[in-house]
Amino acid sequence: MLRKMFLVLGLSGALACPAISIARPSIMFAAGWDPEAVRLVREKFGEVDYLSSEVTDESRPGPAQVFALPASLESVRRQAGAPCNLKGGPTLVIYDPEHWEATPESDRRDLPATIEAGADAVRASGCRKFGLAPDGQFIGLEPKECRAAPSALARSVNWKKVDVLVLQAQRLLSDKCGGRANIAEYSRFVAEWSRLVKAANPAIKVFPSMTFRYTDVATMSEAIRRTRRDVDGYYLAYPSSKSGINCDHCRSTNLKSVVDTIGTTQ
């Protein structure tokens, strides 16, 4: 689930650039962080970074781009229809369909068609990129299972219309799934997905997800090293202490350690 407070870091350059830069992480940042986390990401923000549209103008650091994370096709279309010159408007709209009430049954009934409709709306704006972040069940993780295989979605979506794919595979690295003992499964699943979508669209950027809620730093760091050649960046969930979500490993020292690993892994 991506709707709560989160942080996304990657090694890709700005979406408009065909080349991939591995000199420093790109960062996507949402509101509500503890002061240490805010300070850490503020020091790293630049033109290749993305900031949640939920963050107020006053607290936006530097020249970061803006992303939105709507959970329904209706919300995607609303974001796509905003004026291109709207101050603080998103340059990346990431559709986040999940098995919950925020994603209507009408969206889920034929998800590939819904995704294409959302992509068409966003691309028609002429000023925004389209991203996709289906929940774990949509991409092949069955509830409470610690093994996975790419779902039919991998072969049924028109990937040429998707600029960014966030893979919500974080449960495979959870303490309940064995943490480091399950890194091989996570790496295999991520690599399979990346291979499938990049075969259809070589320009797509793939960001597998990890979370500080239930994954320790050592596990995340090793998973980064094992998957680096298969992906373009990493989505790191780091819930705010004000969100009411229990987060076992949410400490600024842990966040800095993982950011440093991403920035130095070739």
Residue 125 domain-assigned (yes or no):
yes
Average pLDDT over every residue of 180-185: 96
Spatial separation of the C-alpha atoms in residues 258 and 223, rounded to whole Å = 11
Give the domain extent around 67.
Answer: 7-264
CATH number of the structural domain spanning residue 215: 3.20.20
Q: Output 233 or 150, whichever has higher pLDDT.
A: 150
Give percent of the chain above pLDDT 90: 53
- pLDDT band, very low/low/confident/very high, at 251 (cuts 50, 70, 90): confident
Write out pLDDT tens, residues 186-221: 999 999 999 999 999 999 999 999 898 899 999 999
Residue 235 domain-assigned (yes or no):
yes
- pLDDT band, very low/low/confident/very high, at 248 (cuts 50, 70, 90): confident
SS3 call for 29: strand
Q: What is the pLDDT of residue 130?
A: 97
Residue 1 domain-assigned (yes or no):
no
Phi-psi region at 144: left, alpha or beta (left = phi > 0; alpha = psi -120 to 50)? left
pLDDT over 70 (residue 150): yes
Percent of the chain as helix, strand, coil, to the nearest 5: 40, 15, 45
- pLDDT band, very low/low/confident/very high, at 261 (cuts 50, 70, 90): confident
The residue among 154, 142, 257 whose CA lies nearest residue 210 is: 257
Q: What is the pLDDT of residue 54?
A: 65
As a whole number of Å, the CA-based R_g of the chain is: 17
The residue among 43, 42, 49, 45 whose CA lies nearest residue 14 is: 49
Residue 210 domain-assigned (yes or no):
yes
Q: How many domains does the chain have?
A: 1
